[in-house]
Amino acid sequence: MTFLINAFKIIFLLGFLVFIHEGGHFLAARFFKVKVEEFSIGFGPKIFTKKGKETVYTVGCIPFGGYVKMLGEEERSEDEGSFNKAKVLHRIIIVAAGAIVNIIFAIIVFFFLSIFSGYNISTTVSEIIPEAQANLVGIEIR
């Protein structure tokens, strides 16, 4: 039972990290007014599908990746809002946004873990364990 719970935790965490990564691409594409046709987390058979205004949101059963399908990304499109008609700098930002959001997310998680971990290193000796070497050599608490 513990194995299944741990496996579920890993799958959920991996799916969440994929969501964060793909969300970076998605938000950058929307910011630069590139039409997103599909936002998917996971591969394989689709578990969940929802049609938004212009985007189809899907969740696949295998959470080892995801994708953001943009208009004009795979084939050339002359439509307004296609990826291939966006400025080169905008395309670079859209492609790099996934990794950038991962880095920002890691910094935020590290920041909160360091604040709330409760483990503070100090140079002040607050107590000495009776059997420890420090007690045997005579370190005193002030």
Strands (E), 7-136: 36-51, 56-70
Spot the catalytic one: 22, 75, 131, 140: 22
Window from 11-15, 57-61, 72-76 with minimum mean pLDDT = 72-76
> Computed from CA positions of residues 32, 33, 35, 36, in that sequence, does the dihedral angle turn out positive or negative?
positive
- Is 107 within 8 Å of 119 (Cβ atoms)? no
Using pLDDT thresholds of 50, 70 and 90, give the confidence band for residue 120. Answer: low
Percent of the chain beyond pLDDT 70?
Answer: 95
Specify the higher pLDDT residue, 119 or 57: 57
Specify the higher pLDDT residue, 17 or 124: 17
Q: Is 80 noted as a catalytic residue in this protein?
A: no
| pLDDT tens track for 43-73 | 889 999 999 888 999 999 887 889 999 998 8
